[in-house]
Amino acid sequence: MRKMFSLAALLGLCAAALVLGRLTRIAADETDAHADLPAVFRPENTPTPSATPTLPPTATPQPTATDGPPPTPPHTATPAPSPTPGFGPNLLVNGSFEDGWTDLPPVDGSLINQAPHGWELTWLEKGQEVWDLRTIHPDDPQVGIVSGVAEMIHKLNHQLPPHEQLGGPNALILEGGAVYKMFHRGAAFGSQLYQAVSLPAGTYRLTVPVQLHWHENLDPNDPTWDTFTAESGVWVVNGATRLGGWATARDMGDRRWFYHVVEFTLPAPTEVGVLIRVKSIYRSPKDFFVDAVWLEKIGG
């Protein structure tokens, strides 16, 4: 009986060994079958990336204004009078009054006038009658008799309030960085600029912008006041011949640019004179501004 139990136990152990060996072989076969596959590793948990904040654009600093005159604007090719001068090459010297000046000896005490380079500056003396006197009061002996010497100076762009600077709504400068001013606070006066220029044969145009400040309460629509209270005149002088004429206060208006335009033809090379005159016939304040005086050739 004990032998039979021992034999049964031995047979059981043998069967178990056979099953275990079969399982071990299957496992080994599966391991060999996947030996050439790449290993896959599970990544560690990482936080979800957050959006990088976008910074607002930085404002670009704007350049600050300086006291120097602004750059000269480019010339326009338009040949008609315009607040922007520069129709063609300017044949005059210092037509925009930017090339400096000479201080003249004092007159009327300490008044020092400025002669622009390239121009001859003169004026009428006290007691003289103004050029070509015209008035609605011819019987008044004081009308048109010079009683003072005007102040004649350059005003630079940075010396003017912003609205009167180059490009402003009430600009007193049309070209470059200066304007020429002739004025008196309470006297009759006459002032003159002159420049000689040699020109070849051809056709030319002279343009002279002038702005008058009345300093009087004058209604432009009232025909009773004396339009000759202030005048400006421009001529081209060729020997005994003068081309041009006067513009009255009513012609010029108050605080606006008036354009004198003279066109002429030279059949041969000639030296001509450019003559600019301003006058005030009453003992009242008047200001004249002149800038961008332009002489250009417009025909062969």
Task: Please report the pLDDT score of residue 222 as a whole number.
Answer: 93
Q: Residue 86: its pLDDT value, please? A: 53
Query: What was the pLDDT predicted at 216?
Result: 87
d(CA 182, CA 189): 10
- pLDDT value of position 268: 98
Taking the C-alpha atoms of residue 141 and residue 118, their distance in angstroms, rounded to an integer, is 37
Structure tokens, 242: 């003068």
CA dihedral sign of residues 207, 158, 279, 95: negative
Residue 243: φ, ψ to 5°: -115, 125
* 121: helix, strand or coil: strand
Q: What angle do CA 260, 261, 265 make, to 5 degrees?
A: 145
The closest alpha carbon to 233, from 160, 134, 167, 156, belongs to: 134
Q: Which residues of the chain, if any, have pLDDT below 50?
A: 1-11, 13-84
Check: CB of residue 224 under 8 Å from CB of residue 208. no
Residue 284 is classified by DSSP as S
Q: What is the DSSP string of 167-206?
A: TSTT-S-SSTTEEEEEEESS--EEEEEEEEEEE-SEEEEE
Given this model, what pLDDT does residue 220 score? 85
Question: What residue ranges do the domains of the chain occupy?
Answer: 101-299
Closest CA to 184 of 108, 246, 272: 108
pLDDT at 234: 98
Q: Distance from CA of residue 159 to its chain's centroid?
A: 16
Task: Please write the tens of the pLDDT for every residue from 69-81.
Answer: 333 333 333 334 4
What distance, in Å, lies between the first and last C-alpha atoms of the chain? 151
Quickly name the fold that domain 101-299 has: Jelly Rolls (2.60.120)
pTM: 0.72
Q: In degrees to the nearest 10, what's the CA dihedral of 261, 265, 269, 270?
A: -50
Specify whether the CB–CB gap between 120 and 195 falls below 8 A: yes
Q: Is 264 helix (H, G, I), strand (E, B) or coil?
A: strand
Give the model confidence (pLDDT) of 5-63 as tens digits.
444 444 454 444 443 444 344 344 444 444 343 333 333 333 333 333 333 333 333 33
Q: What Å distances lie between residue 82 and 9, 97, 174, 260, CA to CA?
A: 129, 18, 9, 11
